[in-house]
């Protein structure tokens, strides 16, 4: 079953359907005379249409069960032809393999073939996620005059050291999965664990934003591993693409993981253990609008109606737009680690305060969800409390229950002061949103290998000294998330996150070779001279609400029974009362008549925790209410 899921890695909808489509199967000759296998889907009607080209290494056969853009098996509803090819060297194009070859040239040659067919109107758009997105950039680089536009999804064309070795740590699960998919990268990657001339050459060869001369709609997700690379390359093409094209690129960032198995796909409502119905189908809807504008000549103001950055603010569950990234108006907000395992806006006052992790590489902290690619680990937001946070090899720092929203957008930075009794070790971060029911849902994670604290070349690496305190910064990938009232912000600190990242054997010797493991005692400091903290970029409007002194408002009885009449009394005039449940959903809004008290009766509330947001003529206050 695992291999099956791998093969359908990038097909965005389920294909448990009895009658698949029957495309025309053709072989297309490339410039080196090799043959590329293609499936051609042509709607009835007898007239020429634009064509959507999909280039896949994951077997073109599976698109017979579901065409993208919401078409699925209803080919006759499509305004486009579809051509789906197997990459050179993969599946039905296996015989075309010649070793190293620039597949962008194959993309060019396939477009050349398409525009010569009588069912083609001469316009070709490209679509596809992950590897199918990367090859769109490679194809666009060759600038075929009939390649009109592209929709790369969860993809950037770059091949970066930090993609495979974030902060110097090998992404074990990611590369193993790529090997399973047939790429065979592990041997080359493991031979180059430091940033070197090989990486410099590879990165230079895969950076060509000035050669992208068609408009692109890039689509990414907040639980995807490519988000930062996408934002970086999007910024590059918006700056370096020639002429007016630079102003036509757009990016859509939703609450999505990379996709590949089950219900978690780009554009679906279900992501891991959470639901995002407000974002469902946006990836298809926006791609269809984009193609309609550029391929069908639809009379829509695509550029005017879509800001450069369209992004989903999780928590608030709403779409926002910006012309710059990060959005304007954000301010820094720090939460300091302290000696009672709290995140506090107040800097530590103790002169001697620290916490310790005992890390055994033979029993690493397990990966649960996040930016993974394998079914067994889960993908996207998963609760860290049952398996990860219940262990004794992790430090858990949580904020107080929030009385008001914390609206973050951008990168989160974690500044740590650390030491170890070993020559080398790792520090891993998981950022979580803790719900009122104590689910600790992961948002982002990252890791840092201490020998790379001064850089990633061989000459940069330096080992640790027992007990010496070092300052490190771990940056978490971009996200946009609102921590709601009633929730808590949480940072988990461990020394492993396996198999998402390689587990350090702590001996300071050669990496990624067999050898004895050492148990490390690692220390995180939270004191005046070594104040570790987490830094968010928050919406400035968060700080503009005038919250009044809590002594001016009272709620009773509290806790209350379901049948109780609830009294709210205030020294000032009551204007409105908002009741918010443990999931952050507003269950009722009550408009008051400027009295100093209000009685709430006949509320159909379930037992549990609620936030009561009370607005008076002097400001707002959030109070906690418990219903038994």
Q: How many CB atoms lie within 10 A of CB 66?
A: 19
- Give the residue with greater pLDDT, 350 vs 10: 350
* pLDDT value of residue 18: 56
Strands 470-483 and 440-449 come out as unpaired
Q: How many CB atoms lie within 10 A of CB 549?
A: 10
Contact 146, 115 (CB under 8 A): yes
Give the best-scoring range by mean pLDDT among 460-464, 550-554, 579-583: 460-464
* pLDDT value of residue 13: 41
- DSSP letter, residue 311: E
Q: Which residues contact residue 27 at a Cβ distance below 8 angstroms, ignoring those fewer than 6 apart?
A: 35, 36, 37, 38
Q: Give the residue from 186, 154, 149, 175 showing the smallest Cα distance to 10.
A: 154
Mean pLDDT, all residues of the chain: 92
The mean per-residue pLDDT over the stretch 353-376 comes to 96
User: CA-CA-CA-CA torsion for 331, 337, 338, 344, nearest 10 degrees?
Assistant: 30
307 burial level (CB within 10 Å; 0-12, 13-18, 19+): middle
* pLDDT value of residue 510: 95
Q: How many CB atoms lie within 10 A of CB 243?
A: 8
Half-sphere exposure of 113 (CA within 13 A, CB side): 21
Contact 67, 77 (CB under 8 A): no
User: Could you give all domains of the chain from N- to C-terminal order, each with its CATH number?
Assistant: 2-153+208-322 (3.40.50.1820), 330-542 (2.60.120.260), 550-627 (2.60.40.3080)
The mean per-residue pLDDT over the stretch 266-290 comes to 96
Q: Give the residue from 524, 372, 339 showing the smallest Cα distance to 445.
A: 372
* pLDDT value of residue 584: 58
80-110: b (≥16 Cβ within 10 Å) or e: bbbbbbbbbbbbbbeebeeeebebbbbbbbb
Contact 380, 368 (CB under 8 A): no
Cα(533)–Cα(514) distance, integer angstroms: 35
Contact 427, 420 (CB under 8 A): no
Q: How many CB atoms lie within 10 A of CB 305?
A: 11
Q: Where are the beta strands (DSSP E) in 70-194?
A: 81-86, 120-129, 147-153
Residue 443: pLDDT over 80? yes
Q: Distance of CA 52 to CAs 8, 136, 291, 337, 398, Å?
A: 19, 12, 9, 52, 48
Cα(76)–Cα(80) distance, integer angstroms: 9
| Cα maximum dimension of the chain | 85
* pLDDT value of residue 582: 57
What is the helix (H) or strand (E) element at residue 371, kind and residue range?
A: none
Strands 520-527 and 406-420 come out as antiparallel
Measured on CA atoms in the order 372, 373, 377, 380, is the torsion positive or negative? positive
pLDDT tens-digit map of 61-83: 999 999 999 999 999 999 999 99
Q: Where are the beta strands (DSSP E) in 32-130?
A: 35-41, 49-56, 81-86, 120-129
Residue 390: pLDDT over 70? yes
Contact 173, 377 (CB under 8 A): yes
pLDDT tens-digit map of 132-189: 999 999 999 999 999 999 999 999 999 999 999 999 999 999 999 999 988 999 999 9
Q: Which residues contact residue 325 at a Cβ distance below 8 angstroms, ignoring those fewer than 6 apart?
A: 231, 235, 309, 410
According to the 3-state scheme, what is the secondary structure of 453-516? CCCCCCCCCCCCCCCCCEEEEEEEEEEEEEECCCCEEEEEEECCCECCCCCCCCCCCCCCCCCC
Binning pLDDT at 50, 70 and 90, where does residue 549 land?
very low
pLDDT tens-digit map of 469-501: 999 999 999 999 999 999 999 999 999 999 999
Binning pLDDT at 50, 70 and 90, where does residue 580 land?
confident
* pLDDT value of residue 564: 83
Half-sphere exposure of 345 (CA within 13 A, CB side): 7
Contact 489, 399 (CB under 8 A): yes
Q: Is 228 helix (H, G, I), strand (E, B) or coil?
A: helix
pLDDT tens-digit map of 405-430: 999 999 999 999 999 999 999 999 99
> How far apart are the two ends of the chain, measured CA to CA in Å?
45
Binning pLDDT at 50, 70 and 90, where does residue 16 land?
very low
Q: How many CB atoms lie within 10 A of CB 261?
A: 19
* pLDDT value of residue 466: 95
Cα(372)–Cα(375) distance, integer angstroms: 8
Residue 50: pLDDT over 90? yes
Strands 318-322 and 330-337 come out as unpaired
Measured on CA atoms in the order 71, 77, 81, 85, is the torsion positive or negative? positive
Cα(140)–Cα(150) distance, integer angstroms: 8
């Amino acid at each position: 079953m695992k291999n099956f899921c791998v093969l359908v890695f990038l097909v965005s909808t389920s294909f448990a359907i009895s009658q698949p489509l029957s495309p025309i199967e053709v072989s297309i000759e490339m410039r080196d005379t090799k043959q590329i296998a293609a499936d051609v889907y042509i709607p009835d009607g007898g007239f020429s249409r634009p064509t959507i080209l999909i280039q896949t290494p994951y077997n073109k056969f599976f698109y017979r069960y579901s065409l993208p853009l919401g078409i699925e098996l209803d080919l006759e509803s499509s305004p486009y032809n579809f051509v789906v090819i197997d990459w050179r060297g993969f599946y039905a194009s296996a015989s075309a393999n010649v070793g190293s070859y620039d597949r962008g040239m194959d993309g060019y040659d396939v477009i050349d073939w398409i525009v010569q067919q009588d069912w083609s109107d001469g316009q070709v758009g490209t679509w596809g996620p992950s590897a199918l997105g990367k090859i769109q950039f490679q194809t666009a680089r060759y600038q075929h005059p009939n390649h009109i536009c592209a929709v790369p999804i969860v993809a950037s064309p770059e091949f970066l050291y930090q993609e495979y070795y974030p902060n110097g740590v090998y992404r074990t699960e990611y590369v193993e999965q790529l090997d399973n998919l047939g790429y065979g990268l592990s041997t080359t990657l493991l031979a180059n664990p430091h940033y070197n001339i090989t990486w410099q050459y590879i990165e230079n060869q895969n950076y060509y934003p000035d050669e992208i001369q068609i408009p692109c709609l890039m689509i990414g997700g907040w639980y995807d591993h490519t988000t930062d690379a996408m934002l970086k390359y999007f910024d590059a093409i918006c700056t370096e693409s020639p002429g007016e094209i630079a102003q036509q690129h757009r990016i859509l960032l939703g609450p999505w993981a990379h996709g590949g198995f089950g219900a978690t796909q780009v554009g679906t409502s279900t992501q891991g253990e959470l639901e995002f119905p407000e974002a469902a189908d946006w990836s298809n809807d926006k791609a269809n609008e984009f193609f309609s504008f550029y391929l069908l000549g639809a009379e829509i103001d695509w550029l005017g109606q879509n800001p450069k950055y369209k992004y989903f603010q999780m928590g608030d569950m709403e779409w926002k737009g910006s012309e710059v990234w990060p959005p304007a108006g954000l301010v820094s907000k720090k939460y300091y680690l302290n000696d009672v395992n709290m995140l506090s806006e107040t800097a530590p006052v103790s002169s001697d305060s620290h916490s310790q992790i005992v890390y055994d590489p033979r029993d690493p902290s397990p990966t649960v969800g996040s930016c993974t690619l394998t079914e067994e680990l889960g993908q996207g937001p998963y609760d860290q409390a049952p398996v990860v946070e219940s262990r004794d090899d992790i430090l858990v720092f949580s904020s107080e229950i929030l009385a008001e929203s914390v609206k973050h957008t951008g990168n989160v930075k974690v500044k740590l002061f650390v030491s170890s009794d070993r020559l080398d070790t790792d520090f891993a971060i998981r950022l979580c949103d803790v719900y009122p029911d104590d689910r600790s849902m992961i948002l982002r994670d990252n890791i840092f290998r201490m020998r790379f604290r001064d850089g990633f070349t061989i000459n940069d690496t330096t080992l640790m000294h027992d007990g010496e305190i070092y300052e490190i910064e771990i940056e978490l990938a971009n996200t946009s998330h609102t921590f709601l009232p009633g929730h808590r912000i949480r940072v988990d600190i461990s020394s492993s996150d396996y198999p998402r990242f390689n587990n350090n054997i702590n001996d300071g010797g050669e990496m990624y070779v067999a050898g004895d493991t050492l148990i490390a005692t690692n220390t995180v400091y939270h004191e005046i001279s070594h104040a570790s903290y987490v830094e968010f970029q928050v919406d400035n409007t968060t700080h503009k609400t005038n919250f009044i002194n809590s002594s001016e408002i009272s709620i009773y009885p509290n806790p209350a029974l379901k049948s109780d009449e609830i009294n709210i009394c205030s020294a000032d005039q009551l204007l409105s009362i908002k009741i918010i449940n443990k999931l952050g959903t507003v269950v009722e809004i009550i408009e008051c008549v400027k009295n100093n008290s209000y009685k709430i009766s006949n509320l159909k509330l379930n037992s549990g925790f609620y936030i009561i947001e009370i607005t008076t003529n002097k400001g707002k206050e959030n109070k906690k209410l418990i219903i038994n």
